[in-house]
Amino acid sequence: MDVRVEGQVVDVACWETAEVILRKALSGKKFKSAVAAGAVCDGRTFLLDLFAILPADCTELAPVYADSREGLDLIRHSAAHIMAAAIIKLFPGVRVTIGPSIENGFYYDFDVEHPFSDEHFPAIEEEMRRIIATRLPFTREVITRDEAVRFFGDTGEHYKVEIIEGIDADTVSLYTCGTFTDLCRGPHIPHTGFAAAIKLLSVSGAYWRGDEKNKMLSRIYGTAFADDKALTAWIKQQEEAKRRDHRRLGRELQFFAFQEDVAPGMVFWLPGGMLMRTILEDFWRKEHLKRGYDMVQGPQLLRVETWQDSGHYDHYRENMYFTNIEKDAYGIKPMNCIAHMLIYRNSPRSYRDLPQRYFELGVVHRHEKSGVLHGLLRVRQFTQDDAHILCAPEQLEGEIFSVIHLIRDFMSLFGFNYKVAVSTRPESSIGTDDAWESATAVLIRAVEKAGLPYNINAGDGAFYGPKIDVRLLDCIGREWQCSTIQVDFTLPERFDLTYTGRDGQRYRPVMVHRAIMGSLERFIGVLIEHYAGALPTWLAPNQARVLTVTEAGASAALRLSGELVAAGIRVHADTRNKKLGFKIREAQMAKTPYMLIVGEKEAQAGGANVRLRNGENWGFKTVGEIVALVRADAEEPFKQGGMRYSFA
């Protein structure tokens, strides 16, 4: 049979493995960096071990390279097995449970008499490196469930037995690396040598199956890369990320606080942070009004029957909160789309009314487990910059393209690069095949029309429709899920949304779900880390701080502050009887963009000595010159996207 490999057609015999086929098509260097293969069979795509025999219906085979996202995922999963093998040798009697790859690494949970600590890391890493150096192959075996239960039962691995007994299949697969055999679906890297660079990171406790009624296990986190250079770069990135941690900076800048004993996973916004957030919100509302959106607001609670009608109750209820009012059950909204559809349905609609673009900075609640809460990046209550566009099918591509243009403008405002992916239908979903195919096709057309490179994330769409996902890249190269554009043919039908066409007949609109920042809290957390707390001048709560040299300059400092406030500049006057150097350091720690120093000479001349937060000194400037400087600095980021900053 013929199989396509990176644009080449390769003749394949029925017994040949993925490794043999890739060797025919790839150069030596490219072949040596392949750790697995992606096979396309009857329209389905899945990963294969290199030693796997190619399925008879395979039409395309793609190498999975070690430095790709999928390749790193396989390396890290295999590194978890390598770590388990090392620990079993070093600590006889330990029992193994599960060890998946996760974002940026892997972990494995162990049942051990005395929990592990980072003091054990050197010995474990040394044994892991020995296993890696021997380039032990990963081999796969498929056996019956009963055989697997006996095998793991005989070795005392009762956690594996429990997992197997919960599997609804006649057979299971095992992977062996040296003397260690683990229950695993795979695939894995060809041999341990591909996990060339490993590092153990931390330890924690974890309940078996995440249930606090079960035994506490000892979890070890680690990471792995294909080479030491990539690992070293990642370690440096993590050190820089620690310096930029928004949780620490948020406390130091007094932007926000958390009180876990009162409201875990919910933010207390302090005056400076609330002012910054309000500036961002006000700008964003004005920008949406300019682009033809109508601002709306829906209620926090809707009857449970409404969530059942939408499909959220079946597909999302584990992430929702519920309450009862006078014996009626209500769901606290985890998203805003239902209310926006009900607003649309509130009045009859004609084709002349379309598109309807509803925008809401809507507060939503989602039930996140305490173990995943992380500062502003993962909270239980947050605000979405949510919008829903209801339009005629023929308007859909244009509306999507307009949203893409908005995303481009927004990313340029903060200097973010970004990656785009089109996410397709997941296994758990609603709607017809035709609707999903049409929605996916229009998303791809819009992305291609915009000239954006993109990847396909198979099976990662929302339960009601496919989507465009945008991952921004911050200044140290980390990726953050940000904007999303989702096409939905299904919910308008479930809620019987209609409009009257030119011919007087009733038609069904299409709905676009879109968010640009996503969670406002999360986006602010990303911004703080991106700028290391030194927010751009237009967004800084205090754009300038007036500092007196002596108490005698207080009246001049207050007069200067008043003139700047009248010009629309956010300013604070520090007239305390403190040394100037102390006040300058405080202003720098507060990341204030401009420090305006007023001594006797500056007071007489009607201005201030201007110093920047990075230490630059611009010398004496008049009030008018200071206003012009701050204005120009604040307005600069908006010019590229054709947007405007208001000092009102």
Q: Which residues are known catalytic residues?
A: 337, 366, 384, 386, 388, 467, 513
Helical H runs in 291-365? 304-310, 312-316, 337-344
Tokens representing 356? 């309807």
One-letter identity of residue 531: Y
What is the C-alpha to C-alpha distance for residues 26 and 44, in angstroms, rounded to an integer? 23
Residue 188 in contact with residue 175, Cβ under 8 Å?
yes
Cα-only R_g, the chain: 29
Half-sphere exposure of 436 (CA within 13 A, CB side): 20
Burial class (CB in 10 A: 0-12, 13-18, 19+), 473: middle
Q: Is the dihedral of CA 493, 495, 499, 505 positive or negative?
A: positive
8 A C-beta contact, residue 467 and residue 485: yes
* β strands within 326-452, DSSP E: 328-332, 356-365, 381-391, 417-423
Closest to 508 (Cα-Cα) out of 493, 523, 495, 521: 493
Q: What is the 3-state secondary structure of 237-271? A: HHHHHHHCCHHHHHHHCCCEECCCCCCCCCCEECH
- CA angle centred on 74, ends 71 and 79, rounded to 5°: 125
**Is the CB of residue 187 less than 8 Å from the CB of residue 206?**
no
Query: Is residue 65 helix, strand or coil?
Result: strand
Inter-residue contact 533 to 249 (CB < 8 Å): yes
DSSP 6: T
Q: Tokens at residue 343, please?
A: 């607003």
**Cβ distance 86 to 131 under 8 Å?**
yes
- Residue 627 tokens read as 């206003």
Round to whole Å and give the CA distance between 93 and 285.
Answer: 61
Give how far the C-alpha of residue 188 lies from the chain's centroid of Cα atoms, to the nearest Å: 26
Token representation of residue 144: 């019956």
**Residue 431 DSSP one-character state:** S
| Exposure on the CB side of residue 79, measured as CA atoms within 13 A | 29
Q: Say how many residues make up the chain.
A: 648
- The per-residue b/e assignment along 563-576, b for 16 or more CB within 10 angstroms, e otherwise, is bbeebebbbebbbe
For residue 453, whether the previous peptide bond is cis, meaning omega lies within 30 degrees of 0, is no
How many Å apart are CA 648 and CA 646, to the nearest integer? Answer: 5
